[in-house]
Amino acid sequence: MNNGKLGLPSVIATGVGLIVATSCLMSVGQGAGSLGITFIISMLMACAINITTALCLSELNALMPNLTGGLAQYTLASFGPFISIITMVGGYLVCNTIAGSAECAMFGNTLTGVFNTKIPGSVFCIVLLLILIAANLHGIDLFAKIQNVVAYGLIFSIFIMGIIGALKLGTGEVVEQPLVLTSNMSDIFSMVGLAFFLFLGCEFIIPIAPNVKNQRRNVPLGMILSLLIVTAMEIILILGMHNYTDWATLAGDAAPHVLYGISLFGEFGKYWMALISVFAVVSTVNSIISSLAYICAGMAKIGLLPKVFMKKNKNDAPFVGILLIGGAMVLINATGLSTTSQLSLLILIGCVFWMAAYCISSLNVLVFRRKMANVPRTFKVPFGPVIPIVGIVGNIFMIYNIASDTETKMIIYRTVLVIFAVLAVYAFIWVKKVMKRPLFKAYEVKDIMAMENELYHLVREEQKKSA
């Protein structure tokens, strides 16, 4: 019997919720302002690569269903605990906590600018975070209600503003300018790394899969539909931007989405875009807090994090993860770290870890195809190893194109290597001293599945007490 609480609309809302962020709206404007509508080609390439990842994760979820740790547990069964910890702590926990803090900072700055208030942007951020922490502590039902409202409000608003602009129905002055600024493929390729950032996050559907109705259908369908809906929204938005905002001004503006709103509808458009920014940040940060808390709980079940992350409150919410992740975002915004000029660079650094995690997910599929070739799957990626291999090559290609200029690219690569080294030391100590396991020895799938059950941990505790 399927006791899932979340239907396909909620699944799509979660996927869209993390994908579409205020920083994504900014990235759309900057990419389009640099290339014109040929940025759409960069977007389609990035979307296609992310769809390969979504398909791979769907097969992994079909092979090992109802796992709250997602990629951590799949990787543990493929490559052992060392790679799992580096992939998840670097590529998900740290990266997303910083990204969520950045979203809050952009939200605060947008409100401060739009309403011309003297209240510091960090105050808006902290109040919003406290509200979302409280909502998530009330459990998955309230999370779904908030997510549905803000995500579908976001989809509706962006579609409407994009269509109005594309059809030249705005009250502002229509701009006469070329559709295409460059058709040079090297320029288009150089923007694929930026475009990748527009599609991050649909895999956060996986940790909530145990709460999804008919997850065999709704999990893969929800991820792919999330990516396609976001792609359609952003294409329409770019067409609207072409008609109402000068490309050069758009590329250089710190808040291109607000600029578009003003150009389209004047003061009304400014406030509408402010509302969209609210929808975007609530949707994104809500998804991050909820999904990362469930990922932490799942990682704790398999020993990759302390057991305290498994604790739940009376609403069945993993409150330790919610409080820690939400609290970290509050602290970052309170100290002002999330408003520094280096933060955008830090997000790109996190994206490289995210791309590496996507490569690992595709490798997991190939490993399981070999190790568990005859095990039935309710969903299997078609065309044999082709799609996982395309996904790996595509993500490596995007890592290479993470920035358009060589200097920035080298800074990102050096920083990633340093972070990788720190995580490697942490993972080595944790695996050897706490887990007392071989670094690269894969776990049996049956053992990982057993660890997901709370009875497994109760029995282990009783065995330790009696020993």
Question: Crossing angle of helices 386-400/343-371, nearest 10°?
Answer: 160
Question: Crossing angle of helices 215-244/140-166, nearest 10°?
Answer: 30
Q: Could you state, in order of their start, the residue ranges of all structural domains in the chain?
A: 18-462
d(CA 45, CA 193) in angstroms, rounded, equals: 10
Residue with tokens 């710190």: 254
The CATH number that domain 18-462 falls under is 1.20.1740.10
Banded model confidence at residue 239, pLDDT cuts 50, 70, 90: very high
| pLDDT tens digits along 68-89 | 556 778 888 899 999 988 888 8
Are 391 and 358 contacting, i.e. CB atoms less than 8 angstroms apart? yes
pLDDT at position 66 is: 67
Which residues are paired to 6 by β-bridges? 212
pLDDT at position 129 is: 92
| pLDDT tens digits along 286-338 | 878 888 888 888 888 878 888 899 888 888 889 999 999 999 999 888 876 54
Phi, psi dihedral angles at 212 (to 5 degrees):
-100, 135
| pLDDT tens digits along 355-393 | 888 999 999 999 999 988 888 887 888 898 999 999 999
d(CA 342, CA 84) in angstroms, rounded, equals: 28
Are 273 and 261 contacting, i.e. CB atoms less than 8 angstroms apart? yes
d(CA 39, CA 286) in angstroms, rounded, equals: 29
Q: Which two tokens stand for residue 2?
A: 């399927």
| pLDDT tens digits along 245-269 | 999 888 877 678 888 989 999 989 8
* Average pLDDT taken over every residue of the chain: 83
Please say if the pLDDT value at position 340 is more than 60.
Answer: no
| pLDDT tens digits along 84-112 | 888 888 777 887 887 788 778 878 877 87
- Whole-structure pTM value: 0.82
Please say if the pLDDT value at position 3 is more than 60.
Answer: no
CA-nearest of 137, 143, 126 to 327 is 126
